[in-house]
Amino acid sequence: MIVRWKLGIVVAGALALAGCSGETGPSDTPNDDGLPPMPEFPDNPTTPGGVDLGRRLFHDPVLSGDGTQSCADCHRQAFAFGDPRQFSFGIHGDAGTRNASTIVNPAWQTSQFWDGRAATLEDQAVSPVQNPIEMAADWSVVVAAVAADPDYPAAFAAAFGTSEVTQERIVRAIAQFERGFVSADSKFDRERRGEVAFSAAEIRGRDLFFSEEAECFHCHAAPLFTDGRFHDIGLDLDPPDEGRAAATGVVFDRGKFKTPSLRNVEVSAPYMHDGRFATLEEVLDHYAAGIQRSPNLDPVLGVQLNGGATGLGFTPEQRADLIAFLKALTDPSFLQNPDLGPPSS
Ligand code: HEC
Ligand code: HEC
C-alpha cells in the first residue's frame, strides 16, 4: 500500500510536468516543502515590491464599480481563499452559478476557473473587475482611481520601476501576490517529513485514497492533489453547465470541470463547481453511490459502474477513513499566514 502511495506521488510529478512542457520550470525533483519547484514566470517575475502591491490591490475595494468589494470578499483566506456561500454576490447583489474557487498553490496551475477559460493568473484577474455580476467596474475608471490615490503610485514605482498605473500592471501585481499562496505544511506534509505520525484512520484513509479501489489519486494527484485537468465525475447537470465545453466549444468537454485541489478541503465547503454539497460526507455519498452515467463520464469512474453499480460503494468505515485523510490536508499555517492577509497599514 505504501509503495503504491509513493508511486502516486511520482506519477503526479510527471503529470504536473506534462502540463507545463516546453516552459521553464518544474524539474522532477521535489523541493524542500514537497511540492515541485515553483515554475518561473519570465513575463512577470515576482519581486517583493510586486507582491506588496498585489497584496494591497487584492484586498482593496477600489477595484470594484462602487468601491465596496475586493477580491478578498469572495476569496477568504480562512476558507482557503474560497467563499463559504454557495454562490457569491457581486456589488449589485447578483449571484453567479458557480462556487468561488479556492486559490491554493495557483502558481502550479496551468489554467484558471472551473472551465479553465483563463490561461494565467494575469488573464484571470482581468475578468472579475469588469464582470457585471461581480465587481462590475470599468477598467479605465479603476486605473484612474488607483492612480489618484496618494500612496499607490509610489507602490507601482517600487514594483515596476515607474509610478505609471495600468491595467496590465494591476493584474501582474495581483498575480505575483497570488503565486505566494503556497500550502505545503499540512499534517500530510509533516507526516511525509517524519515530523508527526498519522492515526490508524488516517493511514487507512491514505492507503484507500491512493488505491485503485477508490481511484481518488488519479485526478487528485499528490502532492498538489489536482492533476490540473478536466473531468466529468457523473454529477447530474441540473441546472445545466457546459463546464469545460464553455471554454473549448468541444462536445466531448461537456460536463467536465477542473479538478480542484483537495489541500485545505476541510475548510472550503460547499463543494463542487456549483457548491451543491455542504459536507465532505455528501461528497463521499456521491462517489460511493451517486455517480450518473453520462456520455463524457471519466473512464476511471465509469469502469466502476459495471453490473449496475452506481458508485464505488464505500462502507461507512471507509468513508470515515477517507474523510480523516482529507482533513490531514488542512494547513493552518497557510490559512492563518499573516503575509497573505490585508496589509496592516
Ligand atoms: C463576487 C465574487 C468574486 C469576486 C469579487 C472575485 N472573484 Fe474570483 N472567483 C469567483 C468565482 C465565482 C469563481 C469561479 C468562476 C468560474 O469558474 O466560472 C472565481 C475564480 C477565481 C480564480 C480561479 C481559481 C482556480 O483555481 O481556477 C481566481 C484565481 C480568482 N477567482 C481570483 C480573483 C481575483 C484576483 C479577484 C479580484 C480582482 C477576484 N477573484 C474577485 C468569485 C469572485
Ligand atoms: C476522474 C477524476 C476524479 C476522481 C477519480 C475523483 N475526483 Fe474528486 N473531483 C474531481 C473533479 C473534476 C471535481 C470537481 C467536479 C465539479 O465541480 O463538477 C472533484 C471534486 C471533489 C471534491 C470537492 C472539492 C471542492 O473543493 O469542491 C472532493 C472533496 C473530492 N473530489 C474528493 C474525491 C475523493 C475522496 C475521491 C476518491 C473517492 C475522488 N475525489 C475521486 C475529479 C475526480
pLDDT, tens digit (0-9, with 9 covering 90-100), for 272-288: 999 999 999 999 999 99
At residue 344, the pLDDT reads 84
Ligand 1 atom at minimum distance from 109 CA: 26
**pLDDT tens digit sequence for 77-107:** 999 999 999 999 999 999 999 999 999 999 9
Q: Are residues 157 and 205 in the same domain?
A: no
Distance between CA atoms of 97 and 239, rounded to whole angstroms?
A: 9
How far, in Å, is the centroid of ligand 1 from the Cα of 243?
Answer: 16
DSSP labels, 126-192: HHHHH-TTTT---HHHHHHHHHHSSSHHHHHHHHHSS----HHHHHHHHHHHHTT-----SHHHHHH
Grid coordinates belonging to 160? 515596476
The number of angstroms, rounded, from the C-alpha of 157 to the middle of its chain's C-alpha atoms is: 31
**Quick check: is 343 in a domain?**
no
Q: Which of 180, 212, 235 is the last residue of a domain?
A: 180
**Quick check: is 235 in a domain?**
yes
Q: Are residues 251 and 279 in the same domain?
A: yes
**Quick check: is 307 in a domain?**
yes
Q: Are residues 173 and 258 in the same domain?
A: no
**101, 131, 168: which to mutate for ligand 1, most atoms within 8 A of CB?**
101
Q: What are phi and psi of 63, to 5 degrees?
A: -75, -5
**Quick check: is 231 in a domain?**
yes
> In the predicted model, what is the mean pLDDT of residues 17-31?
39
Q: Is the pLDDT of residue 29 over 50?
A: no
**pLDDT tens digit sequence for 123-171:** 999 999 999 999 999 999 999 999 999 999 999 999 999 999 999 999 9
**More confident of the two residues 9 and 256:** 256
Cis bond leading into 270, ω under 30°? Answer: yes
Which residue's alpha carbon is nearest to atom 9 within ligand 2? 259
Q: Is the pLDDT of residue 304 over 50?
A: yes
- 40-44, 76-80, 235-239, 298-302: which range is least confident on average? 235-239
At residue 242, the pLDDT reads 94
Distance between CA atoms of 11 and 212, rounded to whole angstroms?
A: 14
Distance between CA atoms of 204 and 109, rounded to whole angstroms?
A: 29
Grid coordinates belonging to 80? 482557503
- Determine if ligand 1 sits within 6 Å of the CB of residue 88: yes
Q: Are residues 162 and 56 in the same domain?
A: yes
At residue 233, the pLDDT reads 97
How far, in Å, is the centroid of ligand 2 from the Cα of 164?
Answer: 43
At residue 159, the pLDDT reads 98
Q: Are residues 192 and 325 in the same domain?
A: yes
Q: Are residues 25 and 106 in the same domain?
A: no
Q: Which of 117, 152, 180 is the last residue of a domain?
A: 180
> In the predicted model, what is the mean pLDDT of residues 33-61?
96
User: Which band of pLDDT confidence, cut at 50, 70 and 90, is reported for residue 194?
Assistant: very high
At residue 28, the pLDDT reads 44
Q: Are residues 225 and 315 in the same domain?
A: yes
- Domain that includes residue 11, residue range: 2-29+187-329
Q: Is the pLDDT of residue 14 over 50?
A: no
Of all ligands present, the nearest one to the C-alpha of 72 is: 1
At residue 115, the pLDDT reads 97
How far, in Å, is the centroid of ligand 1 from the Cα of 101?
Answer: 6
Q: Is the pLDDT of residue 19 over 70?
A: no
Distance between CA atoms of 4 and 55, rounded to whole angstroms?
A: 40
Using CA atoms, how far residue 345 sits from 154, 155, 181, 239, 322, in Å, is 15, 13, 21, 44, 42
Return the DSSP state at 289: H
How far, in Å, is the centroid of ligand 1 from the Cα of 235?
Answer: 22
**99, 259, 282, 300: which to mutate for ligand 2, most atoms within 8 A of CB?**
259
**Quick check: is 84 in a domain?**
yes
At residue 221, the pLDDT reads 97
Instruction: Name the 3-class secondary structure at 231.
Output: strand
Q: Are residues 194 and 324 in the same domain?
A: yes
Percent of the chain with pLDDT over 70: 90
Q: Are residues 90 and 7 in the same domain?
A: no
- Determine if ligand 2 sits within 6 Å of the CB of residue 247: no
**pLDDT tens digit sequence for 306-343:** 888 999 999 999 999 999 999 999 999 999 999 999 99
**Quick check: is 341 in a domain?**
no
At residue 345, the pLDDT reads 59
Q: Are residues 97 and 173 in the same domain?
A: yes
At residue 32, the pLDDT reads 54
At residue 307, the pLDDT reads 86
The number of angstroms, rounded, from the C-alpha of 69 to the middle of its chain's C-alpha atoms is: 21
User: Which band of pLDDT confidence, cut at 50, 70 and 90, is reported for residue 111?
Assistant: very high
The number of angstroms, rounded, from the C-alpha of 128 to the middle of its chain's C-alpha atoms is: 16
CATH code for the domain of 126: 1.10.760.10
Q: Are residues 19 and 82 in the same domain?
A: no
- Determine if ligand 2 sits within 6 Å of the CB of residue 216: yes
- Determine if ligand 1 sits within 6 Å of the CB of residue 73: yes
**Quick check: is 34 in a domain?**
no
Q: Which of 146, 180, 214 is the last residue of a domain?
A: 180
Task: State the chain's mean pLDDT as an integer.
Answer: 91
Instruction: Give the number of domains in the chain.
Output: 2
Show Cβ contacts of residue 82 under 8 Å, excluding neighbours closer than 6 positions: 75, 76, 99, 100, 101, 102, 103, 268
Q: Is the pLDDT of residue 30 over 80?
A: no
**Quick check: is 339 in a domain?**
no
How far, in Å, is the centroid of ligand 2 from the Cα of 270?
Answer: 13
Q: Are residues 245 and 212 in the same domain?
A: yes
